Each structure stands twice: as structure tokens, then as C-alpha cells.
A and B are shown apart, each in its own frame.
Chain A
Amino acid sequence: MYEVIAFYIFAISTMVLFTITVMSKNVLYAMTALAAGMVMISGFFFLLGADFLGVVQLIVYVGAVMALYAFSMMFFDATKDIKEKHQNSTLVFVLGGLMALVFVVMFSAPIIGENIQALYPVGLAEGLGAFGNAQDVGLVLFTKYLVPFEVAAVMLLVAMIAGIILAGKKMDYSLTECEASDKELEDKILKGGAK
């Protein structure tokens, strides 16, 4: 009963919030709606018994990724409304609807499939005297998925270095200031030519 109510509340709020993210003209509104939608998505993970995944979603997405976006707002002008030229929006919505259909068909394939069994069943750690989703996840992550885990760690390191190098280059000089001084110089030259 509570699960049903919770599912519908989370479902409606995520859809509304993500629609705001996609349709809003203001970057700040879009970002805030996206962050709130991520919090609601973590609710689904808790409902599905994936507690650790829900916590990771809250920490990594709502904490880290959103903070990164918020910091990048300092570089881009976030207060101005974004003007976008839209063309052929009916085609876009038709394609989106078709995409939803394809997605549901694609993911309902494992329901139709009969001879699928769980390789790593939930409650794996119970035999070892430990309970809970976090223990299960740890057990599987550090046995079967150890190599992908290490590769993901290296990938995050590479991404961090790339981010530092890309964003930190020429941090000490401002492009807009430089443009202003260029314009002054241009004006001076033009005035000199007129005289």
C-alpha cells in the first residue's frame, strides 16, 4: 500500500521535474529541477531494495555532479534567459514517443525470456553472517566486478586530470576584459583614421 503511494508520488514528481529541466528557459531553474529530480530518483532505488545505490545516487549525483554544474555557472551567464531557435518540434515529440516505445519493448525482453536465473542473488552475504544491501554489493563488487571497478577508478582519475587541464588553462586572464581592451584599441585606431 505504502509502496504504491510512494511509487506514484515519486513517479509524478520526477516526470514533472525532468520536464521542467528539459523545457525551462532559465539555466538556474533547469539545474534546480534536475537536482530535485535526482533526489526523487534515489527514492525509487530505496523502494527497489537497492539502498546502497540510492545513497550513491544522492552523494555522487546530487552532491558532486550538481555542485560541479553549480560551479560551472560561474563561467556561464546563468541569469539571462536562453534564446533558442526551435524548428520542427512536432517531429521531435513524435521521435521522443517512438523512443519510449522502443525502450519499453527492449527492456521487456528479459521478462519474456524464460531461462534466465540470478547469478548473484540478493542476500548473498547472509551466509557469511552479514546482512544488508551494502554487504551484498561489496561482496559482488570486489569479487566478480573487481577489474571493472579498478578500470572505473583509473577512468575517474583520467577524467579529473582532463577536467583540471581543460578548465585550468589560461585561468589567469579574462576573455571579456581582453575583448574590451581590444575594442578600445579599435576605437582609437578608427578615431585616428578619421582625423
Chain B
Amino acid sequence: MMEIGIGHYLILSGLLFSIGFVGVLRRKNLLMLFFATEVMLNAVNVAFAAIGNYYGDLSGQMFAFFVIAVAASEVAVGLGLLIVLYKKYGSLDLDVIATMKG
């Protein structure tokens, strides 16, 4: 059997990140956009942990911790904003909410 190295983890993390990126590009609902950003953040966390493991260094894990902290606060503020938007427009669709037509 093949040994699982850092390459496997990086390719997996890249694939997960691109899944999230496709989601960010194609989603029109704001809540679903939030889900897609969570996917991207998780993909980056896996890459951090894998590279930290590769060097036997703890800094990768530290950065992953701070990414998790940032993600948690982002969700708290973002959901508050979504509730305000939903109360104002009655919808979370970007096409409805958009006021600047470019």
C-alpha cells in the first residue's frame, strides 16, 4: 500500500478548497455562501495541520486555531447581519438584495 504523505493532504485540501470556491461563485443565496466559505476555511485548516505535521512544527496547528477563532467570530457577526438583511428585504437572494446594478 502507498504511504500517505503530505502530497495527499495538500491535494485533498486543494480539492476541498476548490469545492468551496465553486460554491462561492455559483451560490446566490447568502446563507449558502456562508456555508461555502466554511468549506474553504476547513480546507485551509487541513493544509495547515498537514504542513505542520510534515515539519514536526506546532506553528501550523497554532495558525489553524486562529483560523477557527476568526471563523467563529465571522459567523456570529455575519448571521447578525443576515438577520437584519432578512428583516429588511424578506429574502436572502443576492439578486433581490443587490442595490448597485453594475
| Mutual binders A and B | yes
Mark A residues whose CB is within 8 Å of B.
1, 3-4, 7, 11, 14-15, 18-19, 21-22, 27, 30-31, 34, 37-38, 41, 44-45, 48-50, 52-53, 56-57, 60-61, 64-65, 68-69, 72, 75-76, 82, 84-86, 89, 92-93, 95-97, 99-101, 103-104, 107-108, 110-111, 116-124, 136-137, 140-141, 144-145, 148, 152, 155-156, 158-160, 162-167, 169-170, 175-176, 179
Interface residues of B in 52-75 (CB under 8 A from A): 52-59, 61-62, 64-66, 68-75
Task: Return A94 CB to nearest CB of chain B, in Å.
Answer: 10
Against A, the Cβ 8 Å flags (1 = close, 0 = not) of B1-42 are 111101111111111111111110111110110111011001
Which residues of chain B are within 8 angstroms of A86 by Cβ–Cβ distance?
A: 26, 28
Are B61 and A64 in touch, CB under 8 angstroms? no
Which residues of chain A are within 8 angstroms of B47 by Cβ–Cβ distance?
A: 107
Quick one: given A37-B39, A122-B58, A152-B69, are A49 and B17 in contact (CB under 8 Å)? no
Which residues of chain B are within 8 angstroms of A18 by Cβ–Cβ distance?
A: 16, 19-20, 39
Are B55 and A104 in touch, CB under 8 angstroms? no
12 further A-B contacts with Cβ under 8 Å, apart from A18-B39, A76-B86, A95-B22, are: A15-B12, A34-B39, A37-B39, A41-B45, A65-B75, A86-B26, A103-B13, A137-B58, A152-B70, A160-B73, A167-B79, A175-B90
Are B72 and A64 in touch, CB under 8 angstroms? yes
Task: Return B27 CB to nearest CB of chain A, in Å.
Answer: 7
Give Cα distance in the complex from A124 to B58, angstroms.
Answer: 9
Are A48 and B53 in touch, CB under 8 angstroms? yes
Are B77 and A163 in touch, CB under 8 angstroms? yes
Which residues of chain B are within 8 angstroms of A14 by Cβ–Cβ distance?
A: 12, 16
Point out the residue from B39, B55, B57, B68 that lies within 8 Å of A21, measured CB to CB.
B39
Name the CB-closest residue of A to B38.
A34
Task: Return A101 CB to nearest CB of chain B, in Å.
Answer: 8
Quick one: given A100-B17, A103-B14, A107-B47, are A163 and B79 in contact (CB under 8 Å)? yes
For residue B97, CB closer than 8 A to chain A, the reply is no
Are A27 and B31 in touch, CB under 8 angstroms? yes
Are B18 and A68 in touch, CB under 8 angstroms? no
Are A158 and B73 in touch, CB under 8 angstroms? yes
Which residues of chain A are within 8 angstroms of B90 by Cβ–Cβ distance?
A: 175-176, 179
Name the CB-closest residue of A to B80.
A166
Give Cα distance in the complex from A176 to B69, angstroms.
Answer: 35
Point out the residue from A30, A37, A57, A72 that lies within 8 Å of B68, measured CB to CB.
A57
Task: Return A122 CB to nearest CB of chain B, in Å.
Answer: 5
Quick one: given A19-B19, A27-B32, are A95 and B53 in contact (CB under 8 Å)? no
